[in-house]
Structure 1
């Protein structure tokens, strides 16, 4: 096999981690100044993706004095007999907790990252979405900023409760629903983790 046949090409579709951030004060502060927003970057699979305040020791940084020097790390791995690249996340902060879909991780604790995960630390919310692709020696990372908290989207995903809009009109509803009434959830309540 020639060298040109073994090199990865632009057409290879690598696994991609889409990481979407939200912070309640993100518009007043330049929190994401060190992140390459809106572009995909390759990251070596054998090197943990570290996020924190210290741009020297972390792959990507947040401009926030409350964030730990090393806040978290995401590790790529493959299971035997599986072509997919999977990920784990580890809390590197001694000062704060990190939650993954509602499960809290203490210092140095680690858990698998599902295909869609809501990560919380301090006032940050991160929605991580794994897009399947080729499991090679690298994966791609794409950072975005969300205008609304991702917990609004994932709240129904995690709890299985879907908000139902009450229009007040029950005339066209089946008899079974008219007898019971609408099943509602209060959209103003936040999901607790």
Structure 2
């Protein structure tokens, strides 16, 4: 028997790909502590903190407007599921964290969808999860966007207004433009 046959089967890792944007990231070096275009392998039990405090955060934003710990990510598995999911928790007492269109206050947490936009202050982050098989490790990978992610991905800034429903009566009472001859 060859060593190839005896080798452990390599499991694929769940990867969280994060594309970052800030309007003046080129001038300020906000992301200089983050390694871009590099996959980093982390243990699945690790809580990953994002913020400006270098001793408590794994990923550091060099910006005084960012909280010491802005938000945290933690892996979990739903009951009777082999798929790994991430929950995100807002750790900032001063700044809300917006996940798609859901605003999280201090210590609020939510399950991350497979693809979403995170926003806090002027920061935007497109998060995309690629599923893997391993329950022991996961990976992160960062990219930098030169353009606004909300415009680039045509992401809505607000929840869409339904055509029918309670808000539609509000719009029907607004004044409309009329020609003088219609009076």
TM-score range, shorter chain: 0.7 to 0.9
| Stretch moving more, 145-154 or 38-47 | 145-154
- Are 1:33 and 2:38 an aligned pair? no
The corresponding residue for 1:104 is: 103
The corresponding residue for 1:63 is: 62
Q: CA deviation at 1:159?
A: 6.0
Query: Does the aligned pair in 1 maintain the 2:12–2:134 contact within 8 Å?
Result: no
1:135-160 Cα distance to aligned partner (Å, 9 max, x none): 41110000111111211205169868
Over the aligned positions, Cα root-mean-square deviation in angstroms equals 2.2
Partners of 1:25 and 1:156 lie apart in 2 by 22
The corresponding residue for 1:123 is: 122
Runs of 5+ unmatched residues, structure 2: 1-5, 161-183
Q: Output aligned runs, 1:29-178, within 5 Å.
A: 29-152=28-151, 153-155=153-155
Query: Does the aligned pair in 1 maintain the 2:48–2:58 contact within 8 Å?
Result: yes
Query: Does the aligned pair in 1 maintain the 2:18–2:125 contact within 8 Å?
Result: yes
TM-score (norm 1): 0.75
Query: Does the aligned pair in 2 maintain the 1:118–1:154 contact within 8 Å?
Result: no
1:86-130 Cα distance to aligned partner (Å, 9 max, x none): 011000001111100011000000011000010000100011000
SS at match of 1:27: helix
Query: Does the aligned pair in 2 maintain the 1:101–1:158 contact within 8 Å?
Result: no
Q: How many residues align?
A: 156
- Are 1:18 and 2:20 an aligned pair? no
Partners of 1:138 and 1:90 lie apart in 2 by 20
The corresponding residue for 2:172 is: none
Query: Does the aligned pair in 1 maintain the 2:52–2:60 contact within 8 Å?
Result: yes
Greater C-alpha Rg: 2
Query: Does the aligned pair in 1 maintain the 2:101–2:159 contact within 8 Å?
Result: no
TM-score (norm 2): 0.79
SS at match of 1:155: coil
